[in-house]
Structure 1
Amino acid sequence: MQETPFCLRVEHLLPYSMSDSNTTAFKNPSTFILLGIPGLEAAHVWISIPFCTMYIIAILGNFTILFIIKMEPSLHGPMYYFLSMLAVTDLVLTTSTLPKSLSIFWFNSREIDFSACFTQMYFIYCFLEMESGILVAMALDRYVAICDPPLRYSTILTNPLVAKIGLAVLLRGCMVILPIPILARQWPYCRTNIIPQPYCMHIAVLNLACADTRVSSYYGLFVVFCVMGLDVILIAVSYTQILRAIFSLPTKDARLKTFGTCSSHLFVILAFYIPGLLSSLTYRFGHNVPGHFHVLITNVYHLMPPALNPIIYWVRTKEIRGRLLQLFIHEGT
């Protein structure tokens, strides 16, 4: 079963904890208590500064991407439709976690309703799953654009097909993640109502249950390794073929130009999967790592991609960069 040892160690240190003699009377509390970042409570205000900054960047950046794509007819194509889906996903993902985290850091507002906790859990993991699916769709887009003849691109990735792919990604995320909060909600919670996180993370909530939660744990592992793991494999296969096509080009300039068309997507993939891998490894193998480091790594995983993605596309995509510059120049005049 997945464990977060720190979650159990804090019970005897906190005023909200319940003693063993009272656990029979403490079952399915009406609220959970979110601790923020345990051990760093005195620094919560300072920690909130980079968190808030990244949240503002994520909100403004992704809304700007959506605005530019909507207003610029030349960007109405499959690549930018997928980018719009990614921006919407990032907006929902950050809004699912950051407002509550900031209310803890600024106002010590730690309570969250029992049902609201599982709703938040669903939105977090649903949109993480959707983001992974969108990255696969974007890899498919780059594969068709680079590996197939140019004239076939518009005939293969038509607008109806793009819409169907987007709908499939949405439905997959909603359906695959739905059992996670349903299973987690059915367990009796009688150890404590304290979650050593700034939001309702699946593993941290399971560790509060006084029941055998292996079904939930195994299903969580299934989602990570079989669903998102499959996404990684599909992306790797796509880019293997893409790189083979690039290296087969006759000149260095042609190779660099073609690689530049998929470099933004590669950076976005790395920004999404590397923090996720670090978060997973620290939870499963970093038993001697301080608890607050676990929490910080997980928060970075959920916050960094939405903040970095619009910056990556601003810097690496000349069409978006040019339209953004025109927008600022027009506003300046």
Structure 2
Amino acid sequence: MMPADNHTFFAPVTYILTGIPGMEESYVWISIPFCLIYVVTLFGNSLLLFIILTEQSLHEPMYLFVSMLAAVDLLLSTTAVPKMLAVFWFGAGEISFAACLTQLFFIHVSFMAESAILLAMAFDRYVAICDPLRYTIILTKSAIGKVGLAVVTRSFCIIFPIIFLVKQLKFCRTNLLPHTYCEYMVIVQLACNDITVNVWYGVVVAILVIGLDSVLIAVSYGLILRAVFQLPSKDARLKALRTCSSHLCVILMFYTPVFLPIFAHLFRQIPGYSLILLTNLYVLIPPMLNPIIYGMTTKEILKRTINVFHRWCRRSSLLS
């Protein structure tokens, strides 16, 4: 801790991530699932990207959106998890102020980008089911490229002011961050000057961006379900619902960890370490489960994944 009284401000050169206060004795056990999840995340998303980018037949809107999601998941988990493991294994919680801001920026940008991609995928499913004859006209490769650019631009423009707001803060108490990664509100709460603007910016972003995205996704699926149940045959309805099942699972996996900490704050008796564990869910669970869900539920991806493994096994047997 940096010694300072309440009237002495300092610009922190470094922060120290303390991990999960109250669970220090369990760090080794906590690190084991975290490490396994990260390995699965790296392998699953890298394989998914490789299959989609190398298979010409998968260069369709839905799969291109899936590849964007895989790239964002790799960025999100790689920005956060290695430092978490360093804290758990080696007590290496020291992180420079610049590195902390960089980590904060990429974690939050990835999060915003993933929400936007899920919204774009909901629109993709809406057009595919509700207006299939115009699907290839509306969702051209050029249009998908513009969507990708819009996702990156929106995420950058929303998160960049957060970096500016954090740099304006003055600190007078401590440089200890009671978290496993540099999280915006955790840093803000260490400040000694007025943080009203910081808090309200975070609230507005949560409501207008994440809240609006989730509402638009819900509206899209409401329209999709209405169109599906108007189809004449049961087989057609089941086929249409099957095309949406993987995306719905991914949406639930993404938004559930987002809203859990909000609900947890309503209950005062929940210990602080539970809230930190819940916030870790955003950077651990969706990036791991997304490639598994798409790999297992999408016939085309599953088929090509099996073919890749067959080729690898054949090459290994020839080399041996």
Instruction: Flag whether TM exceeds 0.5 (same fold).
Output: yes
Residue by residue over 1:191-242, the C-alpha shift from the partner in whole angstroms, topping out at 9 and shown as x without a partner, is: 1111100111111111100011010100000110011111111101111110
Equivalent in 255, 259, 279 of residue 241 of structure 2: 259
Q: Match of 1:296? A: 277
Matching of residue 212 in structure 1 with residue 194 in structure 2: yes
Equivalent in 240, 253, 256 of residue 271 of structure 1: 253
Q: Match of 2:173? A: 191
Are the equivalent residues in 1 in contact too, given 2:84–2:181 (CA < 8 A)? yes
State the distance in 2 between where 1:295 and 1:176 align. 24
Are the equivalent residues in 1 in contact too, given 2:295–2:302 (CA < 8 A)? yes
State the distance in 2 between where 1:274 and 1:218 align. 23
Q: Match of 1:306? A: 287
State the distance in 2 between where 1:118 and 1:274 align. 26
State the distance in 2 between where 1:187 and 1:123 align. 20
Q: Which amino acid aligns with 1:312?
A: I
Are the equivalent residues in 2 in contact too, given 1:126–1:174 (CA < 8 A)? yes
Instruction: Report deviation, 1:18.
Output: 4.0
Q: Match of 2:223? A: 241
Q: Match of 1:45? A: 28
TM-score (norm. length: structure 1): 0.92
State the distance in 2 between where 1:141 and 1:158 align. 11
Q: Match of 1:128? A: 111
Q: Which amino acid aligns with 2:69?
A: L
Q: Match of 1:137? A: 120
Residue by residue over 1:110-137, the C-alpha shift from the partner in whole angstroms, topping out at 9 and shown as x without a partner, is: 1110121112111111110010000000
Are the equivalent residues in 1 in contact too, given 2:12–2:97 (CA < 8 A)? yes
Q: Match of 2:60? A: 77
Matching of residue 317 in structure 1 with residue 298 in structure 2: yes
Equivalent in 67, 90, 94 of residue 73 of structure 2: 90
Matching of residue 34 in structure 1 with residue 17 in structure 2: yes
**Tell me, which stretches of 5 or more residues in structure 2 are unaligned?**
315-320
Are the equivalent residues in 2 in contact too, given 1:30–1:113 (CA < 8 A)? yes
Residue by residue over 1:26-64, the C-alpha shift from the partner in whole angstroms, topping out at 9 and shown as x without a partner, is: 512211110011111111111011101111111111010
Q: Which amino acid aligns with 2:140?
A: T
Are the equivalent residues in 1 in contact too, given 2:177–2:187 (CA < 8 A)? yes
Q: Match of 2:317? A: none
- SS at 1:200's partner residue? coil
- SS at 1:112's partner residue? strand
- SS at 1:32's partner residue? strand
Counterparts of 1:162-201 in structure 2, within 5 Å, are 162-201=144-183
Identical columns (%): 51
Counterparts of 1:16-27 in structure 2, within 5 Å, are 16=1, 18=3, 22-25=5-8, 27=10
Q: Match of 1:12? A: none
Instruction: Report deviation, 1:68.
Output: 0.5
Q: Which amino acid aligns with 2:15?
A: F
Residue by residue over 1:286-321, the C-alpha shift from the partner in whole angstroms, topping out at 9 and shown as x without a partner, is: 332111111101001221100000000011101000
Are the equivalent residues in 2 in contact too, given 1:279–1:301 (CA < 8 A)? no
Q: Match of 1:10? A: none
Q: Which amino acid aligns with 1:194?
A: L
Instruction: Report deviation, 1:98.
Output: 0.4
**Tell me, which stretches of 5 or more residues in structure 1 are unaligned?**
1-15
State the distance in 1 between where 2:299 and 2:209 align. 33
Are the equivalent residues in 2 in contact too, given 1:314–1:320 (CA < 8 A)? yes
State the distance in 1 between where 2:73 and 2:3 align. 37
Are the equivalent residues in 1 in contact too, given 2:9–2:170 (CA < 8 A)? no
Q: Which amino acid aligns with 1:165?
A: V
Moved over 6 A (4+): none
Are the equivalent residues in 1 in contact too, given 2:10–2:172 (CA < 8 A)? yes
Instruction: Report deviation, 1:285.
Output: 1.8
State the distance in 2 between where 1:160 and 1:29 align. 45
State the distance in 2 between where 1:75 and 1:237 align. 27
Q: Match of 1:64? A: 47
Q: Which amino acid aligns with 1:79?
A: M
Instruction: Report deviation, 1:23.
Output: 3.8
Q: Which amino acid aligns with 2:50?
A: F
Matching of residue 159 in structure 1 with residue 119 in structure 2: no
Aligned residues: 314
Matching of residue 55 in structure 1 with residue 38 in structure 2: yes
- SS at 1:178's partner residue? helix
